[in-house]
Amino acid sequence: MAASSLCSSFTTKAWSNAQSSSSSGCRRKHHKTVTLAGFLRGDFQLLHTTSFPASGSRARRGRRRRSGAVASLGGLLGGIFKGTDTGESTRQQYAATVNVINGLEREISALSDSELRDRTFALRERAQQGQTLDSLLPEAFAVVREASKRVLGLRPFDVQLIGGMVLHKGEIAEMRTGEGKTLVAILPAYLNALTGKGVHVVTVNDYLARRDCEWVGQVPRFLGLKVGLIQQNMTSEQRKENYLCDITYVTNSELGFDYLRDNLATSVEELVVRGFNYCIIDEVDSILIDEARTPLIISGPAEKPSDRYYKAAKIAAAFERDIHYTVDEKQKTVLLSEQGYEDAEEILNVKDLYDPREQWASYILNAIKAKELFLRDVNYITRGKEVLIVDEFTGRVMQGRRWSDGLHQAVEAKEGLPIQNETVTLASISYQNFFLQFPKLCGMTGTAATESTEFESIYKLKVTIVPTNKPMIRKDESDVVFRATSGKWRAVVVEISRMHKTGRPVLVGTTSVEQSDSLSEQLKEAGIPHEVLNAKPENVEREAEIVAQSGRLGAVTIATNMAGRGTDIILGGNAEFMARLKRYCYFLNDLTPDLLRNNCSDYEELKNYLRLRGREAYLQKRDIVEQQEPGLMKEAERFLILSNIDRLWKEHLQALKFVQQAVGLRGYAQRDPLIEYKLEGYNLFLEMMAQIRRNVIYSIYQFQPVRVKQDQDKKGNQKSEKLNARKANTNADPVGSVEPSTSSASA
């Protein structure tokens, strides 16, 4: 894989906290901030241990029990220090099978493409006849290796074969960042798909699922297998079709919700998910540990609301504070007094307010809360026949949000408005319980050894450390802890300056936009040129460029955790990414590595030169279009800008609507839904703005004005050109997605 971790050099405040997990599923957390290189690689090392000497007499008395105690302590320490394992024992364990696969390479490489594809059908037939997958493994892995070499130009290394065997065995493979986990997943996925029962490859977001399906998914497609992809906005028919494929790429949330929807189906025809067989989870520690107890919930409307809300509202209005009830404004709770209980039971003609068959107590208490704690034009407003919640921090109306547990209905009854239906949970499951349903489960990540105890106790999954392809030469420094934040960042600037003088590329990780901007200001004062990658619009649109070139000589890059998106960081810079610019605009076809080398001596000069060439290409394009039809370029620019804004704004509103509906579930993960909604909405807006810029610029560079009929009048020509421009704009793709077409329609 063409990925390489940087020789990053920065210091940050570290802290650690470990909490033992219980048999009920609570997880042990390890929080440790290390140098970025260590973070990217997942190297967590404990710097010291504590020994427990025993007195002579106590040791003699406990000698008979020593073996059990040593085994227990050894298991504990083994789990803790597992991160120091280099994986050599794993290499030796699978060496014989790797040799068998390598021995088949000459035979497999001599096959033609069709003959290689026929091997899939032969292997599938043998699997259906009863041969075990273990017996088919060497040949299947050799076939996939050869197909990968032909389709992707990547030949899996021996350690990647080992990783594939670990996954096939139903274990968790810990592989360092840059060792090619994405390609490794294809090996066991292909082998287990031969049974015809399907394989699910689970990732953490839609982008990674789509990227992996489109990239490494070419290998099983080349070998004759069907590869499916599940994305957020697919219909039930599309989902069913993709789930029926041999290998399906899907996110953990989409797979979980599809499972819940299937449980609510009323007929077999409505089911979309096929039976569970084999599941490969990417970033398995994030899904199975960090989000293990996060529930997936599908809710729906309850029965028609009861008139009891109106009766309770009348009772609450008649009751007096401190006589019938008391109010705790800090805790936002109310409590009925003895007088209140007696009067309420008398008015309602019931014997017990807490009778589970009547449940009058909840109606009365909610009505009193609505009266005392939820004030009109403070906590909510009424608009039309709706009660709209007001954010107490920002003062903004939270459209579409409702209080739970009948409280919103109580406020509606208080205001005399129509009571809307309540929502009830129709289906719910946690990730932990969901993934335990797979007969065969495995996963891969860069940091699994620290959670090995949880994996083994909860999921019965063994963690196996896969060795690196080449010996590690990077040195992971110890953590440095500072008393004050200001001292920490001063030390960071000093360290960056020292590394920058030697020409080493430096990648600095920050946790927020504010931190990245603050560090950027300090670097500017120190006179250190650098790039900043955070959620600001001017940085988002250049994200891939910044990440791809962060490995250049002397480059300093400050990045928040939003960076990456699968772009390879290569020491010396990513030449392949720079080459994509030629595909972005056909006026830049003369760009070659030699030309760039001759005109640019450092990164700043390269950036300025490419910006100059981009402007020259635009002016050249404008002159060509104006020669064919004066004023056409301005009209085309106006049309492309408006049409892109219109289309992407509609998509943005749909995305916001979905976030608004789903963000309430973040509360189960101990996150403030309001803050989460603001962050999600802001990030969606930035992505929309960046996409508008990319699409407009790409469309302007690519469109070709063509007069449809020479004998039409000017008005007819303009209409035809606009129509064709709309087609060109619809097919516009971001940088490097398609080759420029000489038959593009007019604008």
Give the pLDDT of residue 271.
93
Q: Is 157 part of any domain?
A: yes
Residue 300 has a CB neighbour count (10 Å cut-off) of 11
Query: For residue 110, which amino acid is it?
Result: A
Residues 590 and 733 in one domain: yes
Mean pLDDT of the residues in the chain: 77
Domain of residue 460, residue span: 89-299+431-465
Tallying the residues shown for the chain, one arrives at 747
Q: Is 218 part of any domain?
A: yes
Give the pLDDT of residue 265.
86
Q: How far apart are CA 186 and CA 212, in angstroms?
A: 10
Q: How far apart are CA 353 and CA 368, in angstroms?
A: 15
Give the pLDDT of residue 538.
47
Q: Is 51 part of any domain?
A: no
Residues 394 and 287 in one domain: no
Give the pLDDT of residue 171.
94
Q: Is 455 part of any domain?
A: yes
Give the pLDDT of residue 722.
43
Query: Quick one: pLDDT band at residue 441, thresholds 50, 70, 90?
Result: very high
Q: Is 341 part of any domain?
A: yes
3-state secondary structure of 338: helix
Q: Which residue has 């020593």 as its token pair? A: 66
Q: How far apart are CA 65 and CA 14, in angstroms?
A: 39
Q: Is 155 part of any domain?
A: yes
- Please give the residue that has the higher pLDDT: either 13 or 425: 425
DSSP output for 81-115: GGGG--SHHHHHHTHHHHHHHHHHHHHHHTS-HHH
Give the pLDDT of residue 585.
66
Give the pLDDT of residue 395.
60
- Please give the residue that has the higher pLDDT: either 552 or 94: 94
Domain count for the chain: 4
Last residue of a domain, one of 576, 596, 631: 576
Mean pLDDT of 301-312: 78
Q: Is 513 part of any domain?
A: yes
Tens digit of each residue's pLDDT (9 = 90 or more) over 355-410: 766 778 888 999 999 999 998 887 888 888 889 887 665 566 777 777 877 888 99
Mean pLDDT of 528-543: 63
Question: Residue 336 maps to which CATH number?
Answer: 3.90.1440.10
Q: Which residue has 């004759």 as its token pair? A: 224
Last residue of a domain, one of 532, 558, 576: 576
Residues 572 and 584 in one domain: no
Tens digit of each residue's pLDDT (9 = 90 or more) over 633-649: 888 888 889 888 888 88
Q: Which residue has 């025993």 as its token pair? A: 54
Residues 498 and 588 in one domain: no
Mean pLDDT of 472-491: 85
Cα 341 from chain centre: 51
Lowest mean pLDDT among 56-60, 245-249, 656-660: 56-60
Give the pLDDT of residue 178.
79
23, two tokens: 């048999």
Residues 593 and 646 in one domain: yes
Cα 360 from chain centre: 45
Residues 448 and 544 in one domain: no
Question: Residue 537 maps to which CATH number?
Answer: 3.40.50.300
527 pLDDT more than 60: yes
Q: How far apart are CA 697 and CA 604, in angstroms?
A: 22
- Please give the residue that has the higher pLDDT: either 86 or 529: 529
Nearest alpha carbon to residue 121 among 194, 190, 218: 194
Last residue of a domain, one of 421, 455, 490: 421
Q: Is 37 part of any domain?
A: no
Residues 597 and 619 in one domain: yes
Question: Residue 634 maps to which CATH number?
Answer: 1.10.3060.10
Residues 679 and 654 in one domain: yes
Residues 737 and 675 in one domain: yes
Residues 400 and 325 in one domain: yes
Residues 357 and 224 in one domain: no
Residues 218 and 272 in one domain: yes
